[in-house]
Chains A and B, each alone.
Chain A
Amino acid sequence: MTKQIKLQVARYRPEQESEPVFDEYEVPCHSDWVVLDGLNHVKDQIDGTLSYRWSCRMGICGSCGMTVNGEPKLTCATFLDDYAPGPVRVEPLRNFPVIRDLVVDLGDFMQKLVRVKPWIVRAAEKPLSAGEYLQSPEEMDEYKQFSMCINCMLCYSACPIYGLDPKFIGPAAIALAQRYNLDSRDEGAAERLEILSEHEGIWGCTFVGECTKVCPKNVNPAGAIQRYKLNAALESVKSFFLPRGA
């Protein structure tokens, strides 16, 4: 007989409920089953009305972020067996509006992401005949860590500052801005700094550090923000002493 484990899943059906309720499901607890497998089992075998997001099942797409026993987790990388004998409480990511069951609205992040220009900005493009923008492995190492972000939103869910002040641009967007700032091919650091030196930008962060702890890809957004603060402070000192630019 296969070992079973109880899932307590938050359900929010706006046409029926004004507050979320918890439904309980018994699912098999195979040693190689992750929480997402448990949810898929519920969806396929027990209750097809359960709504949640998932796609790749291997920690790449960043779709299946949820709150598991109070902690933001990628459910495709969180083993059921680690919570045995259970129960396992599955809730939507915190700090986001819930659309239905475990599905949250990420529109706020998408708008903020565009504001920080997460792409290579050039003052003037080289002609095609001039060839590629070359980059050494050392130059790539400078930003590689920050380029691992999969936009899973676990960092926003863990960040109490974002929960308290949703205007805060937030960890992932700032880490992605830093990813392009550190790219040797990019020339957009000054443009990004204008946006990120606003009150809701880097200075909104009080360095709780939870974003880095919950990040499944070891991006270290907290580190990116602190490095950005140091940069911004140096830039403002420079502009004070060299008002016409160095």
Chain B
Amino acid sequence: MAHIAEHYTAYHPRWLRTHVSTYWWLRKRSYFAFILREISSVFVAWSVVYLLLIVYAVGRGPAAYEELLEWSRDPWVILVNVSSLLLVSFHAVTWFNLAPQALVVRFGHTHLPGSLISASNYAAWVVVSAIIAWTLIGG
């Protein structure tokens, strides 16, 4: 049994104020998924930086591009890029699934179902990816 609260008075009982633990995000799977989604933003930023590095190297000529490719073969760069691919995909999927909550599209008197809004995001993703793949590989 804990000791009697010192500051207790009959007219203003001492309220119990608890603090959120630093590790609150480990308490629930959904909290952890949220933190993972937030952290994945760093990898989204890295993907942008890496893309700019490629553009910059291409602009400087074949030798610079070859140098960048050589650097990209380093195991740690591969590790960062593979992690980025996974986390950026996770980032995209979570946001596509959340999109219907922010977007309410009216069609006459009815609202477009949320699944259709998510599906349109996925469809746009597939189309843009296919165009990029076709440009790089087949074009």
Chain A interface residues (CB < 8 Å from chain B): 12, 14-21, 70, 94-95, 97-100, 105, 138, 160, 163-164, 206-210, 212-213, 220, 222-223, 226-227, 229-230
Q: Is B16 an interface residue (CB 8 A)?
A: yes
- Tell me if A18 and B5 are in contact (CB < 8 A): yes
Please give 4 more A-B residue pairs, beta carbons under 8 A apart, in addition to A160-B20, A208-B34, A209-B34. A14-B14, A14-B15, A163-B24, A226-B102
Q: Which residues of B contact A98 (CB under 8 A)?
A: 15-18
- Tell me if A17 and B5 are in contact (CB < 8 A): yes
Q: A94-B18, A105-B15, A160-B24 are in contact. Are A21 and B1 (CB under 8 A)?
A: yes
Q: Is B30 an interface residue (CB 8 A)?
A: yes
13 contacts between A and B (CB under 8 A): A12-B16, A14-B16, A16-B1, A16-B4, A17-B5, A18-B3, A18-B5, A98-B18, A163-B20, A164-B24, A208-B34, A210-B28, A210-B31
Most chain B CB inside 10 Å of its own CB: which residue of A99, A164, A207: A207
Most chain A CB inside 10 Å of its own CB: which residue of B3, B98, B102: B102
| B1-31 interface bits toward A, Cβ cutoff 8 Å, 1 = contact, 0 = none | 1111100101001111110100011011011
- Tell me if A213 and B30 are in contact (CB < 8 A): yes
CA A123 to CA B16, docked complex, whole Å = 43
- Tell me if B20 and A210 are in contact (CB < 8 A): no
Would you call the interface of chain B mostly helix, strand, loop, or mixed?
Answer: loop
Q: Is B79 an interface residue (CB 8 A)?
A: no
- Tell me if A230 and B31 are in contact (CB < 8 A): no
Query: What's the nearest-Cβ distance from chain A to residue B24, in Å?
Result: 5
- Tell me if B20 and A14 are in contact (CB < 8 A): no
Minimal Cβ-Cβ distance residue in B for A14: B13
Q: Is B66 an interface residue (CB 8 A)?
A: no
- Tell me if B16 and A20 are in contact (CB < 8 A): yes
Q: Which residues of A contact B25 (CB under 8 A)?
A: 160
Which 6 pairs, one residue from A and one from B, show the smallest C-beta to C-beta distance? Answer: A226-B102, A223-B101, A97-B15, A98-B16, A163-B20, A14-B13
- Tell me if B104 and A227 are in contact (CB < 8 A): yes
Tally chain B residues at the interface, Cβ within 8 Å: 28
Other-chain contact of A14, B5, B18, B38 (Cβ < 8 Å): B5
Query: What's the nearest-Cβ distance from chain B to residue A37, in Å?
Result: 26
Query: What's the nearest-Cβ distance from chain B to residue A136, in Å?
Result: 10
CA A185 to CA B1, docked complex, whole Å = 57
Query: What's the nearest-Cβ distance from chain A to residue B5, in Å?
Result: 5
Q: Is B103 an interface residue (CB 8 A)?
A: yes
Q: A206-B38, A208-B31, A229-B102 are in contact. Are A18 and B15 (CB under 8 A)?
A: no
Q: Which residues of A contact B4 (CB under 8 A)?
A: 15-18
Q: A95-B20, A138-B109 are in contact. Are A21 and B15 (CB under 8 A)?
A: no
CA A222 to CA B101, docked complex, whole Å = 7
Query: What's the nearest-Cβ distance from chain B to residue A66, in Å?
Result: 15
Minimal Cβ-Cβ distance residue in A for B108: A138
Q: Which residues of B contact A213 (CB under 8 A)?
A: 30
Q: Which residues of A contact B30 (CB under 8 A)?
A: 208-210, 213
Q: Which residues of A contact B18 (CB under 8 A)?
A: 94, 98
Most chain B CB inside 10 Å of its own CB: which residue of A12, A18, A21: A18
Q: Which residues of A contact B3 (CB under 8 A)?
A: 18
